[in-house]
Amino acid sequence: MFDQQTYIRRRAQLKKEVGQGIIILFGNNESPANGPFNGYHPFRQDSSFLYYFGQNRDGLVGVIDIDNDTETLIGDDIDIEDIVWFGSVDSVKDMAEQVGVNNSAPMKHLKTLCNAAIGSKRKIHFLPPYRHDIKLQIYDLLGIHPSQQKESASLDLIKAVVKMRSAKEPQEIEELERAAKIGYLMHTTAMRLTKPGVTEKFVGGQVDGIANSYGAMVSFPTIFSQHGEIMHGNPSLAKLEAGRLALCDAGAETVNNYCSDNTRTFPVNGKYTQRQLEIYSIVEACHDHALEVAKPGVKYIDVHFSVCKLMTERLKELGLMKGDTEEAVRAGAHAMFLPHGLGHMMGMDVHDMEALGQIYVGFDDETRPNLEQFGTNALRMGRRLEEGFVVTDEPGIYFIPALIDEWKASGHCAEFLNFDKLETYKDFGGIRIEDDILITKDGCRFLGKDRIPYHPKDVEAFMANNSTK
């Protein structure tokens, strides 16, 4: 947790932003894996609850009564049987005091609070629920069917939370730097272990172990695969093969649940082929280009398309694309190679505040998503950058056989793509390079003191000098 004043200040600001009514912030409950007493581990608290109430125990709810200027931490104290198995923990009253909340009450009191608010026709604000047990709880408390809860969630509260959580405080940036340090260990471990004959599953498992050893958990399921063209390729039992590329997309959460998210693509045998270097150098240039143009006041959607134009120019040099660059990008031809956005917001969630709705997090009234065009419809972040934002910079080039076949059969963007040349790349896989960048007063910078190798010579040198026997 941060200091008590952090949470007092955040809740006070939230009251001002929302204005009136009652705010209910639901913490998470334990989630059973394959039985009621065998839960997923470690427990993961809801990020917005953590942001305002700071406590990492299951079965808690925070209530902020704006009109009466009162705050209450709701939850049941554990009993002696829980203490026998899991040890003593602070009482709900103690936890409330630790974060500057004056009132505490058992869970049954939440129904009384809600009934009183409903009877007085007061506005009850809650965020869109994403766990089914919380949906059932809301149904019981407010009578709103789970199928209607997303639409019934408070837009005022969503916008207030997005506004407050988007720009990171100095202490949050320190946590993100700690996450970056764990991320460095994860990715360099993957580079050291990667060699022909080792399974994807083994490397991926070791990478997960680093996150668990130095922080709370992985920030998302680790992607480690020789099939880099599959965006979310989970590690399989396939053995790594010489001549192929391994793509590792992994991140960690600190004990305070701030995230890292990096991707590296490196040769299984430690040496890039010339064809791999030709594609890799384009992704490398696009990755570095984003660092040059991202700064406060610039729309991230413009950074994305600037990267797409650079990528198109370079792919034309290899004969994979053709025609006018501006027209090609406008038509979405680049999405053959880059079917996702340049990046996303990041913080306590790896896709920061994703549960609140990407249209509110990555976009705003000025910048709206284009949901019609393939590739462009996958952009998670388009709004103007502000100092304190943390975003990912993750360009990639992928050769997806099914996508090549589909576009070739339909003639989609045929005036900008060389399908004959594309056919020869169906066995290539994919390359992505990803880092987390902090928007500063005048530009941006990497998060993390130690840079995970990504320039080709640095990657090859690291793998040659640090490979396990």
Do 162 and 188 share a domain, yes or no? no
Q: What is the identity of the amino acid at 201? A: K
Structure tokens at 43: 């427990």
Question: CB–CB of 355/128 below 8 Å?
Answer: yes
Do 365 and 434 share a domain, yes or no? yes
Residue 415 pLDDT: 98
At residue 289, the 3 state secondary structure works out as helix
Convert the pLDDT of each residue in 424-452 to its tens digit: 999 999 999 999 999 999 999 999 999 99
How many structural domains comprise the chain? 2
DSSP secondary-structure letter at 376?
G
Beta strand residue intervals within 161-221, DSSP E: 217-218
Do 336 and 230 share a domain, yes or no? yes
DSSP secondary-structure letter at 46?
-
CA-based angle 285:291:295, to the nearest 5? 150
Structure tokens at 100: 């500057």
> What is the C-alpha to C-alpha distance for residues 455 and 280, in angstroms, rounded to an integer?
9
Q: What is the identity of the amino acid at 449? A: K
Do 229 and 333 share a domain, yes or no? yes
Convert the pLDDT of each residue in 227-275 to its tens digit: 999 999 999 999 999 999 999 999 999 999 999 999 999 999 999 999 9
The pairing of beta strand 396-398 with beta strand 430-432: antiparallel
Residue 84 pLDDT: 84
The tally of CA atoms less than 13 A away on the side-chain side of residue 317 is: 9
Mean pLDDT value of segment 308-317: 98
Mean pLDDT value of segment 375-390: 96
The tally of CA atoms less than 13 A away on the side-chain side of residue 58 is: 15
Structure tokens at 301: 């959607």
> What is the C-alpha to C-alpha distance for residues 32 and 120, in angstroms, rounded to an integer?
37
**Residues recorded for the chain:** 469
> By CB neighbour count within 10 A (0-12 exposed, 13-18 middle, 19+ buried), where does 286 fall?
buried
Element (H, E) at 246: strand 245-250
The pairing of beta strand 435-439 with beta strand 430-432: unpaired
Question: CB–CB of 26/126 below 8 Å?
Answer: yes
Mean pLDDT value of segment 450-455: 97
Question: CB–CB of 303/342 below 8 Å?
Answer: yes
Q: What's the pTM value of the predicted model, to 2 decimals?
A: 0.96
Relative orientation angle of helices 4-18 and 155-166, to the nearest 10 degrees = 140
> What is the C-alpha to C-alpha distance for residues 422 and 430, in angstroms, rounded to an integer?
13
DSSP secondary-structure letter at 434?
B
Do 233 and 106 share a domain, yes or no? no
Mean pLDDT value of segment 192-209: 98
Residue 89 pLDDT: 85
Is 297 a residue whose pLDDT tops 80?
yes
Q: Which domain holds residue 305?
A: 170-466
Do 95 and 197 share a domain, yes or no? no
CATH number at residue 21: 3.40.350.10
CATH number at residue 229: 3.90.230.10
Do 302 and 408 share a domain, yes or no? yes
> What is the C-alpha to C-alpha distance for residues 244 and 272, in angstroms, rounded to an integer?
9
> What is the C-alpha to C-alpha distance for residues 52 and 50, in angstroms, rounded to an integer?
6
Structure tokens at 160: 């207030």
End position of a domain, from candidates 112, 147, 166: 166
Relative orientation angle of helices 456-466 and 274-293, to the nearest 10 degrees = 120
> What is the C-alpha to C-alpha distance for residues 139 and 364, in angstroms, rounded to an integer?
30
Task: Calculate what percentage of the chain has a pLDDT beyond 70.
Answer: 100
Structure tokens at 169: 């405080």
Q: List, in order, residues 6 or more apart from 43 with CB less than 8 Å away.
A: 28, 30, 56, 58
Is 367 a residue whose pLDDT tops 80?
yes
> What is the C-alpha to C-alpha distance for residues 135 and 90, in angstroms, rounded to an integer?
27
Q: Which of 41-45, 167-171, 398-402 has the lowest mean pLDDT?
A: 41-45
Do 180 and 93 share a domain, yes or no? no
Mean pLDDT value of segment 150-177: 98
Convert the pLDDT of each residue in 69-126 to its tens digit: 999 999 999 888 888 878 888 999 999 999 999 999 999 999 999 999 999 999 999 9
Residue 86 pLDDT: 80
Element (H, E) at 300: helix 300-317
End position of a domain, from candidates 166, 194, 212: 166
Is 63 a residue whose pLDDT tops 90?
yes
At residue 391, the 3 state secondary structure works out as strand
Do 313 and 436 share a domain, yes or no? yes
Question: CB–CB of 332/375 below 8 Å?
Answer: yes
Do 130 and 161 share a domain, yes or no? yes
Q: What is the identity of the amino acid at 142? A: L
Residue 215 pLDDT: 96
Do 437 and 390 share a domain, yes or no? yes
Q: What are the C-alpha distances in Å from 70 to residues 55, 63, 248, 390?
A: 18, 8, 47, 33
End position of a domain, from candidates 133, 166, 199: 166
As a whole number, the mean pLDDT across the chain is 97
Do 253 and 389 share a domain, yes or no? yes
Residue 354 pLDDT: 96
DSSP secondary-structure letter at 27?
P
